[in-house]
């Protein structure tokens, strides 16, 4: 009874924080119950012709005075919308719920980490790299009692935050720079712009699901075009990413382990039944128009970005499969779009199946609705894992049964905080980073079978991601300047934008001729970076002929033999497919690979500052601050001096620190 009233008081106080009348945030449904809802008058609408009149466009009206260039960089949103007291209040409720859970199980929260550990952890988690020696020194000598929260705010509005968040989103959304003949650079530019502007999560997702147009004309089209011609696979990935729903099996039959039926899956897929997601093979157009001075390859380059498009048609075409094995509907019959919700929370979405052109919009309204509990819970659970090393509910792709989470009350609260922060991912992370639970000393990663029993006495000890390791190496080589160099390849796609589907073949040929004459087709389109790719004309430095760029600015994903891929960067074939598992090739690359040459190169920041450090002890101090964000202990200094007297070379110390577990792990 005492516990019940204590939880009830938490709910009432948190409602004040949210400034909204909400249900008891601790009323957790043990098993999700779905209810189908549908719009009115869901009869088939009369099929309309989707053919468009071919317009004899003149090429001059499309390319007159067109210069090949990227659109200007967007202005970053540097405003934090929540007050410091709101952040502290939300963080304190998280800490109290975790503390109660630990006490109930006979455990205690871990003590707070010291400034050295916190400094390195917060840099890695927010900006994706270790701090420089100067940044470490400035923070450690600061005597302000609020210096931790001030550093969190500073990092969250920095370019490094935007770079690091893009890496995470690219993994989540399976982003690739190119697939077959489709270049997704315009989609990448759009994603990065949303992060720079701090667009809210619900807005971003809505845009990706309701987009119209080609990859050349509309950046967010890249999301649906990730699975062209595969609407069922795309829906499966969409429900996985945005709702934490594991529905892949329901494409073919009722899910054997989750409360999903094949009929429910098809009824949701019908919201995309009036959508064509196509990346037609441009070689057919190339064969037809590639004549004379216009080669087949010229045509392919120009039309491919326009053939890859998302287009709404006039009728919903999805049907149940001919081998549908259940008695509730006829095999091969048309599917009526139906939405569902969990429990009694029903987002107010009016589905009008008489107008199939609105179906995707209806679906997006339902999915991103603040009253759709799984939408907020899913992204909150994913961001918690990103900060703490382990999700409240594992696996993240299965949120059907909330009772399986390590702390159902905590998970429900995180969803409420996400809604209260208006789906602002930056503000939500700001809350997490300000908790005592996050700032505590680390715990040990439990075995996978016991992940549901970890109660978050602190974050778990974890290895850096591939992107964190690479960007930390660049920090040693370049310092803070690594964020000055950005790459934008979107001009390689947007230069070809023209209304292909509204033009005759003759008009298309004239446009491509004009493009070739003005240099659009052949200029600056190789795999190598060129002047048009460098944002604001800033060319990054090189070592051994390779540009030094953060992971976010490199080809997505990196080439198979690159450091990033060797250290577990995702192939982007599956959602969240990255790995932090160690391997012998990784160890060999650290000991003898290109990164050792980068660090020891005379032009690297590490080498230049080490040379100017002014003596043995200052050099040791500099190296420890650079690699670990802390000064060496007296015992470490003594051990190093003894090793140097016994023949160890100074460069061997750099090698030893770089290859230490302390460098590679987030404590």
pLDDT in tens, 415-424: 999 999 999 9
pLDDT category, 18, cuts 50, 70, 90?
very low
Has residue 19 got a pLDDT over 90?
no
pLDDT category, 42, cuts 50, 70, 90?
very low
Residue 467 lies in a domain: no
Has residue 128 got a pLDDT over 90?
yes
Cis check: omega of the bond before 557, within 30 degrees of 0: yes
Span 431-453, average pLDDT: 87
**Of 301, 335, 367, at which residue does a domain stop?**
367
Question: Using the 8-state DSSP alphabet, how is residue 311 labeled?
Answer: E
Residue 568: left if φ>0, alpha if ψ -120 to 50, beta else—which one? Answer: left
The CA–CA distances, whole Å, from 151 to 195, 286, 430 equal 20, 55, 11
Alpha carbon distance 489, 533 (integer Å): 5
**Of 313, 333, 367, at which residue does a domain stop?**
367
Task: Write down the pLDDT at residue 368.
Answer: 96
Rounded percentage of the chain residues whose pLDDT exceeds 90: 65
Are 337 and 38 in contact by the 8 Å Cβ rule? The answer is yes
Task: Write down the pLDDT at residue 583.
Answer: 80
Span 122-130, average pLDDT: 98
Task: Write down the pLDDT at residue 257.
Answer: 66
Residue 657 lies in a domain: yes
Residue 619 lies in a domain: yes
Task: Write down the pLDDT at residue 3.
Answer: 37
Handedness of CA 530, 535, 536, 542 (dihedral sign): negative
Residue 92 lies in a domain: no
Q: Give residue-wise pLDDT tens across range 591-636.
A: 777 888 888 888 899 999 998 888 889 999 999 999 999 999 999 9
Alpha carbon distance 59, 514 (integer Å): 7
**Higher per-residue confidence, 205 vs 4:** 205
Instruction: For residue 487, give the 3-state DSSP assignment.
Output: strand
Task: Write down the pLDDT at residue 400.
Answer: 80
Residue 42 lies in a domain: yes
Q: Give residue-wise pLDDT tens across range 458-490.
A: 999 999 999 999 999 999 999 999 999 999 999
Are 313 and 48 in contact by the 8 Å Cβ rule? The answer is no
Span 367-395, average pLDDT: 95
Residue 617 lies in a domain: yes
Provide the terminal-to-terminal Cα distance of the chain, rounded to the nearest Å. 39
> How much is the pTM?
0.89
pLDDT category, 647, cuts 50, 70, 90?
confident
pLDDT category, 448, cuts 50, 70, 90?
low
Task: Write down the pLDDT at residue 246.
Answer: 84
Span 301-308, average pLDDT: 95
Alpha carbon distance 466, 605 (integer Å): 21
Q: What is the mean pLDDT of the chain?
A: 87
Report the 10 Å Cβ neighbour count for 494: 19
Has residue 649 got a pLDDT over 70?
yes
Domain count across the chain = 2
Q: What is the CA radius of gyration of the chain?
A: 27
Span 364-385, average pLDDT: 95
Residue 82 lies in a domain: no
29-43, 309-323, 395-409, 638-652: least confident range: 29-43
Residue 659 lies in a domain: yes
Beta bridge partners of 112: 440
Alpha carbon distance 534, 496 (integer Å): 20
pLDDT category, 25, cuts 50, 70, 90?
very low
**Of 350, 367, 384, at which residue does a domain stop?**
367
**Paired sense of beta strands 339-342 and 34-37, if any:** antiparallel
pLDDT category, 528, cuts 50, 70, 90?
confident
Domain that holds residue 244: 34-77+192-367
Rounded percentage of the chain residues whose pLDDT exceeds 70: 87
Span 41-54, average pLDDT: 39
Cis check: omega of the bond before 665, within 30 degrees of 0: no
CA 89 to chain CA centroid, Å, is 27
């Amino acid at each position: 009874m005492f516990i019940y009233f204590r939880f009830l008081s938490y709910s009432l106080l948190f409602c004040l924080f949210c400034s909204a009348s909400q249900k008891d945030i601790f009323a957790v449904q043990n098993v999700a119950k779905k209810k189908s809802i549908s719009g009115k008058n869901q009869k088939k609408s009369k099929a309309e012709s989707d053919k468009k009149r071919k317009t004899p466009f003149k090429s001059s009206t499309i390319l007159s005075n067109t210069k090949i260039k990227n659109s200007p960089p967007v202005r970053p949103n540097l405003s934090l919308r929540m007050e410091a007291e709101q952040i502290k209040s939300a963080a304190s409720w998280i800490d109290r719920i975790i503390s109660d859970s630990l006490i109930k199980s006979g455990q205690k929260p871990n003590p707070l980490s010291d400034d050295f550990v916190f400094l390195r952890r917060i840099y890695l988690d927010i900006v994706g790299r270790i701090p420089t020696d100067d940044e470490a020194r400035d923070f450690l000598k600061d005597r302000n009692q609020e210096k931790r929260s001030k550093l969190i705010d500073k990092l969250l509005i920095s370019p490094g935050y935007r770079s690091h968040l893009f890496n995470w989103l690219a993994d989540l959304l399976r982003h690739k720079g190119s697939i077959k003949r489709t270049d997704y650079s315009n989609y990448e530019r759009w994603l990065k712009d949303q992060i720079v502007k701090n667009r809210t999560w619900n807005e971003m997702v809505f845009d990706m699901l309701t987009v119209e147009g080609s990859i050349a004309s509309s950046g967010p089209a890249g999301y649906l075009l990730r699975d062209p011609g595969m609407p069922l696979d795309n829906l499966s990935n969409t429900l996985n990413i945005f709702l934490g729903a594991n529905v892949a099996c329901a494409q073919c039959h009722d899910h054997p382990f989750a409360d999903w039926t094949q009929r429910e899956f098809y009824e949701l897929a019908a919201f995309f039944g009036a959508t064509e997601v196509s990346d037609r093979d441009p070689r057919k157009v190339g064969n037809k128009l590639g004549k004379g001075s216009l080669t087949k390859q010229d045509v392919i380059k120009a039309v491919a970005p326009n053939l890859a498009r998302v287009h709404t048609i006039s009728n919903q075409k999805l049907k149940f499969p001919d081998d549908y094995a259940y008695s509730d509907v006829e095999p091969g019959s048309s599917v009526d779009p139906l939405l569902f919700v969990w429990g009694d929370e029903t987002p107010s979405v009016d589905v009008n199946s008489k107008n199939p052109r609105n179906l995707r919009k209806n679906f997006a309204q339902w999915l991103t609705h603040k009253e759709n509990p799984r939408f907020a819970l899913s992204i909150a659970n994913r961001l918690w894992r990103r900060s703490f090393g382990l999700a409240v509910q594992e696996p993240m792709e299965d949120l059907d049964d909330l009772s399986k989470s390590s702390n159902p009350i905590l998970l429900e609260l995180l969803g409420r905080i996400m809604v209260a922060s208006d789906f602002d991912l930056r503000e939500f992370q700001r809350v997490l980073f300000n908790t005592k639970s996050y700032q505590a000393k680390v715990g040990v990663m439990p075995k996978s079978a016991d992940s549901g029993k970890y109660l978050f006495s602190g974050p778990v000890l974890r290895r850096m991601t591939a992107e964190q390791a690479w960007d930390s190496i660049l920090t040693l080589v370049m310092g803070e300047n690594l964020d000055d160099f950005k790459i934008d390849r979107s001009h390689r796609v947007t230069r070809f934008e023209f209304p292909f589907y509204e033009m005759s073949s003759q008009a298309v040929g004239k446009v491509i001729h004009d493009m070739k004459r003005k240099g659009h087709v052949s200029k600056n389109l190789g795999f190598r970076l060129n002047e048009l790719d460098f944002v604001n004309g800033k060319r990054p430095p090189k070592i051994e002929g390779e540009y030094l760029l953060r992971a976010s600015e490199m080809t997505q994903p990196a080439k198979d033999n690159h450091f990033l891929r060797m250290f577990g960067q995702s192939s982007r074939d599956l959602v969240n497919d990255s790995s932090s598992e160690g391997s012998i090739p990784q160890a060999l690359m650290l000991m003898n690979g290109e990164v050792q040459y980068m660090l020891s190169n005379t032009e690297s920041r590490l080498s230049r500052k080490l040379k100017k450090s002014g003596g043995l002890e200052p050099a040791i101090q500099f190296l420890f601050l650079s690699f670990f964000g802390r000064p060496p202990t007296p015992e470490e200094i003594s051990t190093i001096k003894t090793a140097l007297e016994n023949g160890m070379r100074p460069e061997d110390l750099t090698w030893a620190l770089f290859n230490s577990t302390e460098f590679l792990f987030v404590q």
